[in-house]
Amino acid sequence: MPEKPTTGPGGITRRNFLTTMGAGAIGATVSEDVLAAGKEAAQPQVMPAGRTAEIALRVNGQTHGLSVETRWTLLHVLREVIGLTAAKPGCERGECGACTVLIDGIPRYACLTLAVEAQGREITTLEGLMDGEALGTVQVAFAEADAFQCGYCTPGQIMAVEGLLRSSPNPSTEEIRRGVSGNLCRCGAYQHIFKAARRAAELKGGK
């Protein structure tokens, strides 16, 4: 004769209690597995260190054959591999503009540009504006207008103005403000920078 189920407080039998607990344990295990799988799937794809590529970068009119890691930024390659140190690391997240260079004549943040992206483009750094030891036109204008204090942002500011003048040789004050709006000067020398941009336009026009 089958054993009569033992009924506990609240009308719960021993058999029902064990069955419920077993199902709960299975559900918890399945839930943990699903959560673990979800966490694993949510992990970002990370570029493995050491993966290299052979590239050719044309910088200031000279072609450089380079072996670079595919995750390296143009800023890193310019400074640490090629040895052109005018572009400065500042925020390294596209906010300060200290690393500005020209790519096909357009100002770009070198810290947000991968070196492998810059293949086949004309890259110009501050060094490329010079003629030997002679300063370029925008550099002369910045010196005349006293458009710097600590000078750390100055290379990026000059490249931003150079890019602006290549696209708009006689910019208005508002165009100048927009042209350098992506470059921060912590010393606050903006009025002098605007004057330097206008002076550079005059010097380029005179030439």
pLDDT for res 60 = 98
The residue among 204, 197, 141 whose CA lies nearest residue 174 is 197
Residues 92-134 pLDDT 10s: 999 999 999 999 999 999 999 999 999 999 999 999 999 999 9
pLDDT for res 40 = 59
Q: Where are the domains of the chain?
A: 52-206
Q: How many percent of the chain have pLDDT more than 90?
A: 74
pLDDT for res 98 = 98
CATH number for domain 52-206, candidates 3.20.20.70, 3.10.20.30, 3.30.420.10, 3.40.30.10: 3.10.20.30
Q: CB within 8 A of 64, min separation 6: which ones?
A: 56, 57, 58, 82
Residue stretches of the chain with pLDDT short of 50: 17, 26, 30
Q: Tell me the backbone φ, ψ of residue 134, rounded to 5 degrees.
A: -80, 135
Whole-angstrom Cα distance, residue 86 to residue 128?
10
Whole-model pTM: value is: 0.76
Question: How is residue 59 written in tokens?
Answer: 């910088």
- pLDDT mean across residues, the chain: 87
pLDDT for res 51 = 84
